[in-house]
A and B are shown apart, each in its own frame.
Chain A
Amino acid sequence: MSSPDPTAGLRIDPCGPEDLGFLYALAATVTQRWYRLCRRGLPPPHEFEEALWQGVTCQFVTRSPDGTAIAVSSLHDLDLRNGIGWIDVVGDDDLHIDAVGPTTLHLLDHAFGNWPLRKLYATHLDLQPSPFSAAGVPFDVEARLREFAWHDGMYWDRVITAVRRTQWTEHQAASQAGRR
């Protein structure tokens, strides 16, 4: 399965063993931003692969047109009884900020398309703008855990955001109408 992105020339593939080196290097670079994996700091290499897949339903790597891995996206902690799940999109934003939007859109499409989910949550530290704002999808802020994490000499809030299936459907309809 491989879905070329017509707008950015990106390729989004299921994550495989060949991506482990890239993912560990990425985690070391963006430790504070990859909350699911690095909530207590960067795991040691021998624990990293298991942690990478813990509770994950699907996980993708986004590649630039020349095949270089530049971002990762995950759907995890699915709770099908309540119709909810969590998503991560992590990229080396300094170099590949343009990849985060298409990666997020792909993951939302994949998640809402394949599972009966009502709502998807995402969380980020308030030291950077929500990575999902780049996708243009209306995530609502539902919680702000104040002074949650220590980084760069101060405490930062942890923000929990959510997007509902209805919002996603409306966003898709509006995007399609805009393209006509």
Chain B
Amino acid sequence: MSILSGARTVVRPLSPEHYETLRRAELTPMLGTVRFGGATPSPADHVRSLWTGVLLQSTAHDPASDELQALLTCYDADLRNGHAWIAIQAGPTAIGNGIAFAGLALFVTDLFAEWRFRHLYAETSTSSFERFRSGEGQLFDVEGTLRDHHLRGSATSDKHLLRIRRDRWMESIGAIVARRRAALERQPRALPRPDHGT
């Protein structure tokens, strides 16, 4: 995957320079319960966990500041059956600014464009699901809900299994992404200033 850019985000392949930023972000109280369940893996174990089973992964950045906003991962790819799983981990600063989801739109569109996936699956907790459940039936389907899957203290919460269909995605979001990319490419670019020296 090359660098993908839209009006609201820039998506690049994951680079080692971001490992420590991601590790620290994943160990914050808010995100630390998602993947490691409160455990604090060593830097080496964290890097191994980042790449286990991964087909490709990218980071989404704020185009103005270049600040890392989210990690986008495609894993457990099964090309025989034409599907893979995707995940997005957004840092606290990304929530609500749209950069992470704009990055996800580019990422998913590129996955469908470059790989013969029929479906992309994702799993999410109920609290995260509430932020984007309005897309159910249009952008994704809910294939099932593993009831009381997570346990924290004495409280349980569900895990939802979602499916993004290639045909539906490419007709809606994929078409929008393609139009915006084409518009960006048509914009005149500033010519480099001649270097007159001093």
Contacts and interface: CB of A to CB of B under 8 A. Distances in A.
B151 A39 contact: no
Contacts of B78: 39-40
* Chain A at the B interface: SS class: strand
What band does the interface of chain B fall in when counting residues whose beta carbon is under 8 Å from A? 20 to 34
Contact of B143 (A118, A119, A145, A162): A145
A149 interface: yes
Interface of A: 39-41, 81-84, 118-119, 121, 141-150, 155, 160, 162
Interface in B92-143: 118-119, 121, 141, 143
Given A41-B80, A149-B81, A150-B80, A119 B161 contact: no
A83 B151 contact: yes
Contacts of A142: 144-147
B17 interface: no
8 contacts: A40-B80, A82-B149, A118-B148, A142-B146, A143-B144, A143-B145, A144-B143, A148-B81
Contact of A162 (B80, B118, B146): B146
Given A146-B163, A147-B118, A119 B144 contact: no
B163 A145 contact: yes
A143 B141 CA distance: 12
Contacts of A40: 78, 80
Nearest to B82: A150
A68 B80 CA distance: 34
Contacts of B41: none
Given A148-B81, A150-B80, A150-B81, A82 B150 contact: yes
Interface in B27-63: 37-38
A143 B148 contact: no
Nearest to A159: B144
Contacts of B12: none
Contacts of A150: 80-82
B163 A143 contact: no
Contacts of A41: 80
A81 B146 contact: no
B155 to A, nearest CB: 12
B146 A121 contact: yes
A153 B197 CA distance: 69
Contacts of B37: 81-82
A155 B161 CA distance: 19
B121 A145 contact: yes
Nearest to A145: B143
Given A81-B37, A81-B151, A147-B118, A160 B146 contact: yes
Contacts of A144: 143-144
Nearest to B151: A82
A79 B37 CA distance: 10
A177 B149 CA distance: 31
